[in-house]
A = this chain, B = another copy of it.
């Protein structure tokens, strides 16, 4: 019908449009993002585009050009590593606080269900894994973990860091990056998932924190594998499109 979901649409369309422009690699790092060009391409006026650009700059995806305007930001290897480290620290904090403060039974049950679901995706041979399903459940697990401490502040901050694609728990879980090396890392990853939840349940804050931090290191390992062993993969992992240098 003519309901035409226009509610809030222009702004959202602009935000998603620009994000996609960057993530898809159609806008290369360093490239200037012209308001007019984008506006024409997306079929909306400059105003919502401008708002989207400003917001994405806040998110760290774009950078200000001294003479005005915005450009796609380029991230160095070190910045990517620090972002992953940061995610580990924040997820570790969420885990620790959840352990220290205690988690309502319903929530604990919910995250345990996710654990079980993840288990079911595993198989004897890595080729037999239900990769897509793992990716989906893994994202849900990390989301649940971020909220487990019951702190909106922490949850929000994790969400923020995670918006940088290469810092996301799903950074190396992509159909395009379906590499045996990465698949193998999921086995250990799932063991860490279990350990984290166990530590939280037993109210072992320090252990929960350390485990969550170490868990994030999986992403770092995968990153280093890509950079040092198989640079060709860089272009196949979408989350790595912003890495330069």
Contacts and interface: CB of A to CB of B under 8 A. Distances in A.
Interface stretch (A35-43, A151-159, A182-190, A228-236): A151-159
A54 interface: yes
Interface stretch (A76-84, A113-121, A125-133): A76-84
B51 A156 contact: no
A50 B78 CA distance: 35
21 contacts: A50-B51, A51-B51, A54-B54, A54-B55, A58-B58, A58-B59, A60-B156, A78-B151, A79-B151, A79-B153, A82-B151, A82-B153, A82-B154, A83-B153, A85-B93, A85-B97, A86-B93, A86-B153, A89-B89, A89-B90, A89-B93
A79 B152 contact: yes
Contacts of A50: 51
Interface in A189-237: none
Counting chain B CB atoms within 10 Å of each CB, the highest count among A55, A85, A153, A161 belongs to A153
Interface string A155-168: 01100010000000
A83 B58 CA distance: 19
Contact of A58 (B55, B85, B97, B151): B55
Contacts of A55: 54, 58
A229 B97 CA distance: 26
- Top 4 closest A-B pairs, CB basis? A82-B153, A82-B151, A58-B58, A89-B93
A225 to B, nearest CB: 21
Contact of A54 (B51, B90, B97, B154): B51
Nearest to A83: B153
Given A79-B152, A86-B153, A89-B90, 18 more contacts: A50-B51, A51-B51, A54-B54, A54-B55, A55-B58, A58-B58, A60-B156, A78-B151, A79-B151, A82-B151, A82-B152, A82-B153, A83-B153, A85-B93, A85-B97, A86-B154, A86-B157, A157-B161
Contacts of A97: 85
A151 B79 CA distance: 7
Contacts of A151: 78-79, 82
Nearest to A167: B153
Contacts of A90: 89
A137 B48 CA distance: 42
A177 B119 CA distance: 55
